[in-house]
Structure formats: C-alpha cells, structure tokens
Amino acid sequence: MTVAVPLWNEARRLPGLLACLEAQTYPADRLEVFLVDGGSDDGTRAQIDAAVAAHPRWYRLDNPRRLPAAALNLALAQARGEVFLRLDARTRPAPDYIARCVAALQGGTWAGVAGPQTAVGETPAAQAHALALNHPLGTGAAAYRRATQPTASETLYLGAYRTAWLRRVGGWDESLAATEDYELNLRLRHQGGQLLVDPAIRSVYLARETLAELAGQYYRNGVWRPVIWRRHRDAVRSRHLVPALFFPALLMALSVALWTPWPLLAVGGAYAGTVLAVSFDLGRRHGRRYVPRLLLTFPTLHLAYGAGFWWGWLRPPRAV
C-alpha cells in the first residue's frame, strides 16, 4: 500500500495529517508513505524530515515543479504498493480509512474508491464555509460529495486506486495546475475503470479560513475547467455550467440596469432569494451566527468560479 501526499508550505496543517497516518489500523509494515515537498519554506520540510526519520517506510521526495500532479507522478514512479492512495494536508482520514479503501478494492470491480468529501471548519469563518461547501447550492449534488450509500461516481475526492490502473492511463496530467484529479478519473472511466464512493470510508476536509482563500480556490477550479472540457466532451456537468452561466447573466443584467431594472430584478432577485432561504435554513439548523458569513460565502463560490471559467475559456492557462 502506497500513500502519496503533495505538500507546499503546510506546516500548520501537516502535523494533523501525520497523526492520522500514525493512527491508521492498516499494518504499518505494509504501508509506504511518500511526502512530496514542493520547496516549502515555512517549516514543512523540517516536519517531513522528522517524520521520515521516525518511520522506516516513509520517504521524502522533492517536487521542483510544485504542482500536485507532478508530485503524485513522482510518487507513482516509485510506488511498490498494489494500491496507491492520495492524501493532502487538509484531509483528516479516520483510523480505518486506509483499511477500508484496501478492502473495497480487493473485490476486483473498482479501479478507484473513496468516501464522500465532507468539509469541516477549524474557525467560525471556516465552519460557515464548510456549511456552504456541504450544501448542494454551494457545490452541486455530485455523488462524491453527497453519497449516503455505496454508489458509482464520476470522480473521487482524493481516492485510492489500483496502481496498475494509474500506470495504465499514464498517471496525472502535469499540464494541469488544478482539476487534475477530475481529469484523471475521466481517463480511468474512458478506459473502462469504475469508481466507487462509499460513506463507510470516512474522512473530513478542512475548509479554507478566509473568503479570499475560498475565492482563489474556486477561481482556479473555474479557470481550469474549460481546459479539460476542450480535451474531454464529458468533463462538464450541469453543476459546472450553472455558476458559469450565472456570471455573464448577472453582468448583462447589471449593464442594462440604468435603462431597465427588470433583468437585474429577475436574475439577481431570484438568486438573492435562494441564497437568503438556504442561509437562514442552515442558520436555523446549525447556528444563526453563521448566517451573515453564509450570505457572503455562496456568492463568493459562484462568482469566483464563474469568473474563472470565462477567463479560462478566453485565455486558456498553462501549468508552470
């Protein structure tokens, strides 16, 4: 079993992930871990070196390109395990996470498996962001986020894969600086691989702490979505298009608002009403203190993604 963790300047979050890895019920002598550093300068490298020194089957790899896809391919080239698992510093896997991934893959049916992506927050602001990320209004209703029973999925959150499948499709695409997991899963499915999301495989994802960080994350996701859409016709689903189409619709409504307010009232009013209703419902269930932040978080997710999508469509980016 091989675990790969792309890292860059994660000194604050890496200790939590390392503790989760040490707590795994999967036999330590059957587990190799690659901590792949992209040139960190915040103390991450010292944490990696200390962890490697304490565990004989843990290794540090250097990733001069810094891209997650490049880090994962470096680990894949050296992997000796029949199963290859991606993790990152914002993930907190349950103690039986690796054992359950391996067990799910042993049946021979699945090319990759994972549990649902469930966000949590370490601060009040991040907790509000997590509520938005966990709601269909924030990120859609994909199985990899919402599955309540084992189900086939179009993609996976991180994911454990049969190493042979990853090598068959050529690993991760290093021309992508974001959405690399989604693109990998597309190629796996195109070659006949099936992906499983099983809620018994439990982990949590640490949401971004500030709106600026959240906006940057979803802007990058938006920028790179048209890139993989140009390569794969099935790379875009309705949940990707809705925020992408909302952004220009809102801009056009704003542009004619001086002449007629009706388009803005129709587009903006319907959207604002939906955000208000969902935010107050989440506040009723989880705490009214989250409502002001939610009223900002949902538009941040949608507008950042929509702006990124059209910028990426008009000026396709290239990975460094």
Question: 2-209 — its CATH code?
Answer: 3.90.550.10
Domain spans in the chain, listed from the N-terminal domain onward: 2-209, 214-314
Burial call 22-56: b when 16+ CB within 10 Å, e when fewer:
eebebeeeebbbbbbbbebeeebbebbeebbeebe
The predicted pLDDT at position 319 comes to 75
CB 15 within 8 A of CB 43: no
Question: pLDDT digit of tens for each residue in the chain (320 aa)?
Answer: 999 999 999 999 999 999 999 999 999 999 999 999 999 999 999 999 999 999 999 999 999 999 999 999 999 999 999 999 999 999 999 999 999 999 999 877 899 999 999 999 999 999 999 999 999 999 988 889 989 999 999 999 999 999 999 999 999 999 999 999 999 999 999 999 999 999 999 999 999 999 999 999 999 999 999 999 999 999 999 889 999 999 999 999 988 988 998 888 888 999 999 999 999 999 999 999 999 999 999 999 999 999 999 999 999 998 76
Phi and psi of 263, rounded to 5°? -60, -40
Q: Cα separation of 164 and 145, whole Å?
A: 26
